[in-house]
Amino acid sequence: MGGLLARYYVEYGAQPLPEDGSLPPITWAGARYVDRLILIAPPNAGAIKAFFELVNGVRFALFLPKYHPALIGTFPSIYQMLSRGRHGSVLDEESGQRVDLLDPASGRNMDGG
């Protein structure tokens, strides 16, 4: 997620995120300190792989143990990597509507509850 941090710094400088979860106004304050910034495939709209890891767990290498979904769910960064509903990268199969993976109501709808 270093690419996301670098992009944030170039766009907003050292401005903190507002308490309401919105973004601060783009000022390009950090750009004056950066000569070149090359971003190669940063997860700008999240990473759907994060959702699959939350559901199924993950094995980072053949010789390492599989990490159970309950353990993966304790990593704050996994939730930061989830695609947001506004990006439209996750759609409900039946309705075609956008799904916000961070909305608790989405989870209730997925399991039929």
Q: What is the pLDDT of residue 109?
A: 57
Is residue 42 a part of any domain in this protein?
no
Q: What is the pLDDT of residue 86?
A: 73
Q: Is the pTM of this model over 0.75?
A: no
DSSP 3-state of 91: strand
Is residue 41 a part of any domain in this protein?
no
- Sole residue written with tokens 């094995």: 59
Other CB atoms within 10 A of residue 110 CB? 12
Mind listing the pLDDT tens digit for each residue in 8-22? Answer: 999 999 999 888 878
* Residues of the domain holding 98: 48-110
Q: What is the mean pLDDT of each run of 10 residues along the chain (113 residues)?
A: 88 90 90 93 83 88 91 88 76 81 68 49
**Same structural domain, 59 and 92:** yes
Both tokens of residue 14? 């050292």
**Same structural domain, 74 and 101:** yes
**Same structural domain, 53 and 104:** yes
**Same structural domain, 54 and 105:** yes
- Identify residue 28 by its one-letter amino acid code: W
Q: Are 84 and 43 in contact (CB under 8 A)?
A: no
Q: What is the pLDDT of residue 108?
A: 59
Phi and psi angles of residue 83, each rounded to the nearest 5 degrees, phi first = -65, 135
Q: Number of structural domains, the chain?
A: 2
Is residue 38 a part of any domain in this protein?
no
